[in-house]
């Protein structure tokens, strides 16, 4: 058995969960999650708007992802689980955290097709945004998203992110180039929205 294999891929227990929403729970990344992650990256429907998925995922790729998710101070990464089933459905995290400038880059992948379109991404984003400001004391969270991934953009806006600008022709997928929409949410905006007052 290789290092990235496990006996119960994707299963979670309440003891392992760190953040909780109504329908999702976020826990630390486990090695057994990596086989599910391989399937998500190798699913062209899941990666349709993403930079990843241009080649089959290797064991080395998965080991790199696992180490980046668990062994660096600059990344805080969670496995997203469905609270009802306990099944892992994606990964989310704050990456490249700069502890002096108090910023982090938000990234998410929901890899189980049946979990798409259910609003889970918005719930996860709200959990991580609250965690970033209230627990980590960040000042700003940023992200980049394919400008034609309208479902993801709507989800981010529902979680408080605002549009900043466009980086042109930054992603090559599906035999064409796509622009990246840059978005961010500031600490003051988060607390203003939380209190119900205008930002």
- Residue 17: what pLDDT? 84
- pLDDT tens per residue across all 199 residues of the chain: 233 333 344 444 445 789 999 999 999 999 999 999 999 999 999 999 999 999 999 999 999 999 999 999 999 999 999 998 889 999 999 999 999 999 999 999 999 999 999 999 999 999 999 999 999 999 999 999 999 999 999 999 999 999 999 999 999 999 999 999 999 999 999 999 988 754 4
Delimit the domains of the chain by residue range.
14-195
Examine the residue annotation and report whether 131 is marked as an active-site residue of this protein.
no
Given strand 103-110, what is the order of strands in its sheet?
17-20, 24-28, 76-82, 88-98, 103-110, 140-146, 176-186, 162-173
Question: What's the confidence (pLDDT) of residue 7?
Answer: 36
102-132 exposure pattern, b = at least 16 Cβ within 10 A, e = fewer: bbbbbbbbbbbeebeeeebbbbbbbbbbbbb
Specify the pairing of strand 88-98 against strand 162-173.
Answer: unpaired
- pLDDT at residue 197, as a whole number: 55
Q: What is the pTM of this model?
A: 0.89
* CATH code of the domain occupying 14-195: 3.40.630.30
Q: What is the pLDDT of residue 2?
A: 33
Per-residue confidence (pLDDT) for residue 102, from 0 to 100: 98
Task: Check: CB of residue 59 under 8 Å from CB of residue 2.
Answer: yes
Of 37, 156, 178, 190, which one is the catalytic site residue? Answer: 156
What is the pLDDT at residue 49? 96
Task: Please report the pLDDT score of residue 12 as a whole number.
Answer: 40
């Amino acid at each position: 058995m290789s290092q990235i294999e496990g006996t119960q891929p994707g299963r979670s227990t309440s003891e392992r969960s760190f953040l909780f929403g109504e329908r999702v729970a976020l826990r630390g990344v486990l090695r057994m999650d990596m086989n599910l992650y391989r399937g998500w990256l190798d699913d062209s429907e899941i990666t349709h708007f993403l930079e990843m998925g241009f080649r089959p995922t290797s064991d080395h790729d998965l080991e790199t992802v696992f180490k980046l998710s668990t062994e660096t101070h600059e990344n805080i990464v969670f496995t997203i689980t469905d609270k009802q089933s306990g099944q892992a459905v994606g990964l989310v995290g704050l990456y490249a955290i700069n502890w002096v400038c108090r910023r982090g880059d938000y990234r998410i992948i929901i890899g189980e097709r049946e979990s798409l379109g259910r609003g889970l991404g918005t719930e996860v984003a709200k959990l991580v945004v609250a965690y970033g400001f209230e627990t980590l004391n960040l000042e700003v969270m940023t992200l980049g998203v394919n400008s034609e991934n309208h479902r993801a953009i709507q989800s981010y806006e529902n979680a408080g992110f605002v549009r900043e600008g466009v980086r042109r022709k930054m992603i090559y997928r599906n035999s064409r180039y796509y622009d990246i929409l840059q978005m961010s949410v500031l600490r003051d905006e988060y607390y203003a929205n939380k209190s119900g007052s205008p930002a």
